[in-house]
Structure 1
Amino acid sequence: MTGARAPGAAEDGGQAADGRVDAVLAAMTVEEKAGQVNQRLHGWRAVERDRRGAFRLTGYAREEIDRWGGLGALYGLFRADAWSGRSWANGIRPEERAEAAAAVQEAVAAADRHGVGTLLVEEAPHGHQALGGTLLPVNLAVAAAWRPESLADAARGVGAELAASGVHVALVSALDILRDPRWGRGEECYGEDPLLAAELTRAVVEGMQGEARSRVGDGGVAVVLKHLAAQGEAVGGRNGQSAHLGPHDLAEIHLPPVEAGLRAGALGFMAAYNDIDGVPCCANHDLLTAYLRGRHGFDGIVMADGLAVDRLAGTTGDLPGAARAALLAGVDLSLWDESFAGLAALAAADAQVAAALDVACRRVLTLKDRLGLLGDPGRPVRPDAARSLARLTAARRSTGAASRRLAAESLVLLRNARREDGGATLPFDAARLRSVTVVGPHADDVPALLGDYVPPLPAGAGRGVAEALRAALPGAETTAGEAFDDVGAAAFAGADAVVVVIGGTSHRSYDAAFADNGAVAARAGEATGGEGVDLADVSLPAGQDDLMRAVRAATDAPVAAVVVSGRPHVLTGALEHCDAVLWAGYPGPYGGEAVADALLGEAEPTGRLPMTLPRHPAAVPVRYNDRQSAADVYRDAPEPVLLPFGFGLGYRDVAVTGLDVTVRPDSPAEVVVTVTAANRSGRPSDPVIPVFAHRTGGTRTPRIRELLAFGRVTVGPGATAAITFTLPAERVFADLADPGAPTAVTELYVEGLTRTIRPARG
């Protein structure tokens, strides 16, 4: 698979571009080539302000540029967070980005005799991790919206923000599949299903790069998707550890998002920390070369995860061996590693390394040419600072609106008990509320809404749940506190409604300790999620079940729980003690307002769970698409599933009333599924319609269920509407291509309706 070349990057055609790259490569020394495949610096340490306040390069950066006579890539120039130590007091502000980027490129141009600029690489897992970068809900929350088009719109804005800042490459979390809730990085996953993750991966790539790479270098950026591959399968949910799975599960569960990224034209992939069947991903030739390039024709770059190449020394015995193994496997660009710095010496003594270095360097130069970084020696292009800021401001406005929409669409209603008068607990009737009590560790906690990999927000930005309710209910008294005693028993007894805000947090404080790759060194009382925070017990953090029990005993008012979380916690207590439960993921800076709108009926929560919720903390992992059911296996937890993948309630009375299926024997063979939904309420709704299947008849143990298709359909008040899916037969039936397989039979499931189908005989 090859993608269209970005406008402006090679307007004279691919052949001329190849000629430019070949000419530069032929003129380079082996040291210069090695410099192009190294990305060793922490970018936030690369610039400083002089006495006049202008940006200049630090000695740390100049030493690296002089070492190679140029610079391959610079990671995290604008990164601002607790690990980098950059904040609104000392970091690069949005209006300063163009100047800082220009200072770097001018220094590189002065040193590089070939006129090769440096790739500016930034973290953008759910928004740019920079001061003023617009944040989106985390991936797990985005997945709960089941709306790829909303993500594409938001990603388009993030890409525009990055491009306006002078950034070339965005590192984007998308490929990991949530297979174990104990893993701290579950929030970076688009859920536990490969089809849902694949559709969202396609959306984020096309949003940032444009369709067929049309916006790369022209209002968009190149995307490096991470992490390749199967990192979510790590044993015990332990970050970066071995993935124990065979080729079928690798292909069916973990590679669909990769292949969606390939089809969308992603220009890069990041090799993961973990090993698969003992082979580290960064040294896996079958994965990085045979699979990506040989089978799928990938023409971009492969980047290593941070310090992942150096970690191979535990396998190879030393750093030179680590560098050689990664390079020959197909890694083109390192990240902070020392081992790749020795490639020039290795190439001088090893013809195989020398040839592989030429290949990797050529790939990096080809990407740079696409982005306009092969220029005239000594003549960098200085952007127009005023124009860059205007473009950035417009992009931030657009991204903010998209983030707000995603926050609202991602909310999942898990419980909504009936009141004595027959109505539902939610939405609360705002006109009748005179006293509202909000309690819980995240009652008014804005950072807890954001997730991991985020910069500090500007002062006053974002509203917590309690503050958002105060703003929405100016005529009511809203009392808020983190603990029961902070609020007081009287506030619960006299409340018209109580909201308990529970869950976890991935917030990193500026006094926290960090590992060498930026993951938090977790300690009790700090973050309960995110990179470096794997948990053996996925119950709600200590005391939260007791809090809900105490609140229930203290009031007769309706109690609604809001779950702020980046992993599947055990919510058994929440469903037991609260009249309504709203799952909010980490919904981003607009999450507090989205939650308030949902609680008060200004918006309907229409999201669905992108993962399975366990009933018991020791009954994990449990996934809806496992091959064997865990029900009635554990004698102390006979039903391990609390709520299944795809579960979600709504406020409107909408039901699926029809399921029609046609199996076509034509070439290509297809299955056409039409689902009809009826809205019996007086307001419109746009429910998610998922189509599940149980496929039998193949030669492998079938999965309990699989997601075949999904979409949303808008249904007017008192009306019906239909949505049609046209699916290739090989997706619907098991092992259809195997003439020796038994006859395939598939059970389709859509909201309680079932159809049994078989392949058509042409």
Structure 2
Amino acid sequence: MNMKKFAGTRSYVMLCIAVFGLGTQAFGQASKTKANTIIYKNPAAPVESRVKDLLKRMTLEEKAGQICTLLGWEMYEKNGDSVGISETFKSVMDKRHIGSFWATLRADPWTKKTLVTGLSPKQAAIATNAMQRYMMENTRLGIPLLLAEECPHGHMAIGTTVFSTSIGQASTWDPALIQEMAGAIAKEARVQGAHIGYGPVLDLVREPRWSRLEETYGEDPYLISQMGISMVKGFQGNNLRSGSNVVSTLKHFTAYGSPEGGHNGGIALTGVRDLYSSYLPPFQAAIKAGAQSIMASYNSIDGVPCSANSFLLKDVLVKQWGFRGFSVSDLGGIPGVRSTHRVAATMEEAAAMAINAGLDADLGGEAYGDALIKAVNNKKVAMATLDSAVAHVLRLKFNMGLFENPYVDPAAAEKAVGTETTKALSRRVAAASIVLMKNEQELLPLKKTIKNLAVIGPNADNIYNQLGDYTAPQPDEKIVTVLEGIKAKVSPDTKVTYVKGCAIRDTAHANISEAVAAAEQADAVVIVLGGSSARDFGTTFQSTGAAEVKASEVAVSDMESGEGYDRVSLDLMGLQNQLLQRIAATGKPVVLVLIEGRPLNINWAAQNVPAIINAWYPGQEGGHAVADVLFGDYNPAGRLPISIPKSVGQLPVYYNYKHASRHDYVEMDAKPLYSFGHGLSYAKFDYQDLKTNVQASGNNLKVSISFKLKNTSKVAGDEVAQLYIRDDAGTVVTAVKQLKKFQRIHLAPGEEQQVTFELLPDDLRLLNIDMKWVVEPGTFSVMVGASSEDIRLNGSFEVKQEVVCKY
């Protein structure tokens, strides 16, 4: 045998094992020892040493590849039950050395992945393992992939649990419950091979015409912050190597949720002080809680695109807040510096602007490929700048232990995703999110023994209208609609008659007369109206994934909300108002259930319908949750995280506006229809005995605010006690009131509890005329109550000397 033929190869080593009897254990130890001499492959070496060592070994092209995140759903092939990597994946790796993929497991009309062509949880784990195995065994340096997935209200993949959308999550006012939910989402994503969960969305919304309101936590920076902290902690846990946690990517940095005219990605009109006071605090709170990643938004602020804004990405994020994770563009955000914002003439220039401004990674990979390589070669980007961005990505891979353990267990994925436990959790979140807006003469709860109930409306029995945007395809039997929830709740002797009545938008096809006839025969009516973010496979999409709005469609879809579906009005669309008015005219008791992604105009309903509940998009168990509330098995305690206007002419109508001359209009007053924090209960609560106590010493300040809360009714229930503060005389203009603390409290009938809130300097600070954070001397008004308008207790306290705060 020609031994030279095998020299220097693994085959030669294996031959030696066979011929000379060298034990495989010894060979394995020898290989391990050799690997450990390479610093980046040595798990015992410090992470920073491993990062530096690997960077020294990488070519310019390999570095550029590491900070590109490509679309992932074309990277696998599925043939029957067999799943493996695609030729597209091999080609991309050979040419571009990509370090990350996004939405590999995503399924929806945009990706063209259905329940048939997409992946089950087990198949997903097999697919991601195949991708990682290729990286570890077939690439020069063996760098594992980072796989990012959409996770705002569940991992957007087949078989996972679908929870309430974020606006519903915020309506729970229950951070502990949301943290539990986030932990469940993270586990379902991680066991399938994902490492990053896109979320939470921390955009503060003052423009409800904007299409993505459903993805947010509303209009208040403190409530958004608390929800964001919960999501980050739930996603990331205490150990990113646990196999159950994912990195949280915060979206969208920043001021994205209040665009001019409601246009998605539009210009943000805000000054620096308002930016710091309103839009940035949720991001700062989430980063303080440990968030490892953040996404730049599409919009510009004062003429500077956020994707190339060094003030945000360097000064604020890194220097002021000490952020150590990595930043990433939104999909196509860096090319948008050229094509949308027109501040770069070429893709090379756009790539240079973004990375020099501190944007580490390119989602989509169009800018940080050849254009970035060209910019480095042309000295427009320093190698040290590129190395810094690459290091941020590599550091996360090392910290997650991916070089040692890049694989997941397909059998475990099959068992851990979409369990009865997460199904029950989805129902709990949905029930906690439901807001009882109105309950005249205590129409609710209904009796389960009601003889004849009419269930009417376009959202009463439509699974996708109930789930919101960023939702994967679902089998019909998995989703419980309101109609199904009601049927499962009432007595077997109850006759439930369902008539759709009309669609959300379509005006050409309706059966309103049939719906009226059903209502006339019923003892009560539940009418389910609202909106829809349900995409279908006929929808066309922009390159970013946002839906294309068609001015005229032959077959009109229900979709009037969700990314890309900005509105010019907030009116109920189609024939919904006509249907509601015809049903109300029957004189039967009517309960309006709203399934929607944004606050819609319900002025007529507020005046003429006795009971109204808002369920937003309540997720897969939404029908059960709504029925639990309708029939009294769950006492609602959801509270509005955003004000509901009477007219778009009032906008913006958020509760915590700055001191100014606000007055009524010719046509109507300036107040919203329902204010931030509003929500009713089947129980009654009494607030008494407000006390304040100030403890101050030098730069230390603590204010304790206490009161007694009592359930004065005969039913148990939750009350959301809310504390608002006003700085009575600041050196700059401040809010008329600002939420500072809240607590969701369960009380049995007759039970009383002492509630205490503590305020620290950061809760009372303002950004003064010199752009310094301070608590100024003076008096502060205290307002405690059940909503921003339903204030039950008033008081005040005084701060006698200035307290200097940090960023």
Task: Give the TM bin, normalised by the shorter chain.
Answer: over 0.9
Equivalences for residues 432-471 of structure 1 within 5 A? 433-471=450-488
Q: Does 1:219 align with 2:247?
A: no
Residues in 2 aligned to 1:266 and 1:495: alpha-carbon distance in whole angstroms: 53
The amino acid across from 1:679 in the alignment is N
Residue 386 (structure 1) shift: 2.1
Equivalences for residues 605-754 of structure 1 within 5 A? 605-628=636-659, 632-666=663-697, 668-732=700-764, 743-750=778-785, 751-754=791-794
Mapped contact 2:528–2:592 kept (Cα < 8 A) = yes
Mapped contact 1:308–1:337 kept (Cα < 8 A) = no
Residue 24 (structure 1) shift: 0.9
Mapped contact 1:696–1:734 kept (Cα < 8 A) = no
Q: Does 1:312 align with 2:344?
A: no
- CA gap 1:653/1:44 in 2 versus in 1, 3 angstroms: same
Among candidates 566, 573, 578, match of residue 541 of structure 1: 573
Q: Does 1:198 align with 2:225?
A: yes
Residue 369 (structure 1) shift: 0.8
The amino acid across from 1:35 in the alignment is G
Mapped contact 2:431–2:625 kept (Cα < 8 A) = yes
Residues in 2 aligned to 1:11 and 1:574: alpha-carbon distance in whole angstroms: 65
Aligned to 1:21: 51
Aligned to 2:523: 496
Mapped contact 1:210–1:216 kept (Cα < 8 A) = no
Residue 697 (structure 1) shift: 1.4
Residue 246 (structure 1) shift: 0.7
Residue 351 (structure 1) shift: 6.6
Residues in 1 aligned to 2:391 and 2:41: alpha-carbon distance in whole angstroms: 19
Deviation per CA, 1:8-61: give whole Å up to 9, x if none: xx9999971111111111001111111101113x211111135x7422322222
Shifted more, 575-584 versus 110-119: the winner is: 110-119
Q: Does 1:414 align with 2:432?
A: no
The secondary structure found in structure 1 opposite 2:593 is strand
Aligned to 1:758: 798
Residue 485 (structure 1) shift: 2.7
Percent of aligned pairs sharing the same letter: 32
The secondary structure found in structure 2 opposite 1:266 is coil
- CA gap 1:187/1:740 in 2 versus in 1, 3 angstroms: closer
Mapped contact 2:144–2:403 kept (Cα < 8 A) = yes
Residue 347 (structure 1) shift: 1.4
Q: Does 1:169 align with 2:196?
A: yes
Residue 712 (structure 1) shift: 1.4
Mapped contact 1:691–1:749 kept (Cα < 8 A) = yes
The secondary structure found in structure 1 opposite 2:389 is helix
Among candidates 466, 483, 493, match of residue 475 of structure 1: 493
Aligned to 2:12: none
Residue 735 (structure 1) shift: 6.5
The secondary structure found in structure 1 opposite 2:796 is strand
Mapped contact 1:713–1:723 kept (Cα < 8 A) = no
Equivalences for residues 328-367 of structure 1 within 5 A? 328-342=356-370, 343-350=372-379, 352-367=381-396
Shifted more, 322-331 versus 691-700: the winner is: 691-700
- CA gap 1:723/1:621 in 2 versus in 1, 3 angstroms: same
Q: Does 1:103 align with 2:130?
A: yes
- CA gap 1:655/1:487 in 2 versus in 1, 3 angstroms: farther
- CA gap 1:344/1:197 in 2 versus in 1, 3 angstroms: same
The secondary structure found in structure 2 opposite 1:714 is strand
Residue 62 (structure 1) shift: 1.5
The amino acid across from 1:160 in the alignment is K
| Runs (5+) with no aligned partner, structure 1 | 1-9, 419-423
| Runs (5+) with no aligned partner, structure 2 | 1-39, 502-510, 786-790, 803-807
Deviation per CA, 1:170-206: give whole Å up to 9, x if none: 1113211111111010011101000000000000000
Residues in 2 aligned to 1:62 and 1:330: alpha-carbon distance in whole angstroms: 30
The amino acid across from 2:212 in the alignment is R
Mapped contact 2:527–2:580 kept (Cα < 8 A) = yes
Among candidates 389, 399, 402, match of residue 414 of structure 2: 389
The amino acid across from 1:544 in the alignment is Q
Mapped contact 1:631–1:638 kept (Cα < 8 A) = no
The secondary structure found in structure 1 opposite 2:73 is helix
The secondary structure found in structure 2 opposite 1:626 is coil
Aligned to 1:7: none
TM-score by length of 2: 0.88
The secondary structure found in structure 1 opposite 2:736 is coil
Mapped contact 1:697–1:742 kept (Cα < 8 A) = no
Aligned to 1:369: 398
The secondary structure found in structure 1 opposite 2:454 is strand
Aligned to 2:320: 295
Residues in 2 aligned to 1:649 and 1:657: alpha-carbon distance in whole angstroms: 19
Residues in 2 aligned to 1:21 and 1:397: alpha-carbon distance in whole angstroms: 42
Mapped contact 2:465–2:532 kept (Cα < 8 A) = yes
Aligned to 1:39: 69
Residues in 2 aligned to 1:739 and 1:119: alpha-carbon distance in whole angstroms: 41
Query: Size of the alignment, in residue pairs?
Result: 735
The secondary structure found in structure 1 opposite 2:427 is helix
Residues in 2 aligned to 1:11 and 1:382: alpha-carbon distance in whole angstroms: 16
The secondary structure found in structure 1 opposite 2:362 is coil
Mapped contact 2:225–2:285 kept (Cα < 8 A) = yes
The secondary structure found in structure 2 opposite 1:748 is strand
Equivalences for residues 224-303 of structure 1 within 5 A? 224-303=249-328
The secondary structure found in structure 2 opposite 1:339 is coil
Mapped contact 2:512–2:579 kept (Cα < 8 A) = no
Q: Does 1:116 align with 2:143?
A: yes
Residue 741 (structure 1) shift: 6.0
The secondary structure found in structure 2 opposite 1:386 is helix
Residue 760 (structure 1) shift: 4.6
Residues in 2 aligned to 1:498 and 1:516: alpha-carbon distance in whole angstroms: 43
Residues in 1 aligned to 2:156 and 2:776: alpha-carbon distance in whole angstroms: 50
Residue 747 (structure 1) shift: 3.9
Residues in 1 aligned to 2:702 and 2:778: alpha-carbon distance in whole angstroms: 17
What do you get for the CA RMSD once the two structures are aligned? 2.2
